[in-house]
Chains A and B, each alone.
Chain A
Amino acid sequence: RKEVEQDPGPFNVPEGATVAFNCTYSNSASQSFFWYRQDCRKEPKLLMSVYSSGNEDGRFTAQLNRASQYISLLIRDSKLSDSATYLCVVNQIYFGSGTKLNVKP
């Protein structure tokens, strides 16, 4: 079983839509959680950390559910520039395979 699992997508949504991704992890003792963004043919870049209490950064909200062992990312009012692959990361080194988001005009 993989350490981290994500739905690969793609998620095709219109501009302005709200979209949510989930990511499940297998190790209940995991301590840190992140969302990274990766543009085509570029390196992954940190989008946001995920705290137990949940956290919000503008249009982006990340949440952690320890009981069910998943993290989520919610993007409100999607922009064309949000089109990318979103990777969840557990304990710094375990990356999901990524969820591709396409925001259409």
Chain B
Amino acid sequence: DAGVIQSPRHEVTEMGQEVTLRCKPISGHNSLFWYRQTMMRGLELLIYFNNNVPIDDSGMPEDRFSAKMPNASFSTLKIQPSEPRDSAVYFCASRVPGGGVGDTQYFGPGTRLTVL
């Protein structure tokens, strides 16, 4: 199994530009999570989906952030317009089907975003 796939692995952009991060979960997993990690705030949940439906987006910082999951094998996280404080590592994770709170998540390698 290829694991969770994220692209791009690194992104450097200028303030005000649109940024789109992509994630392909492990095949057959039906829950998908987006996290952001910074030195100051640690690992924070932004949003998660069950069966392609957003369940909890309370962690999304503000209206500049949006996430979609058009099908079971693809999700995007978009930032428009980007700001320097958005610089972080963004992780996507997926979980086994039917998993309750006792089932583990598998993380992708992350996208390191730098906004100048």
State the A residues within 8 Å of B (CB): 31-32, 34, 42-46, 49, 87, 91-98
Contacts and interface: CB of A to CB of B under 8 A. Distances in A.
Given A87-B43, A95-B43, A98-B42, A43 B110 contact: yes
| Chain B interface, >50% SS class | strand
B108 to A, nearest CB: 6
Contact of A91 (B91, B95, B101, B109): B101
Interface residues of B, number: 21
| Chain A interface, >50% SS class | loop
Interface of B: 33, 35, 41-45, 48, 91, 95, 100-110
A24 B91 CA distance: 24
B48 A93 contact: yes
A45 B91 CA distance: 12
7 shortest interchain CB distances as A-B pairs: A97-B42, A43-B107, A95-B43, A32-B101, A46-B104, A93-B45, A32-B102
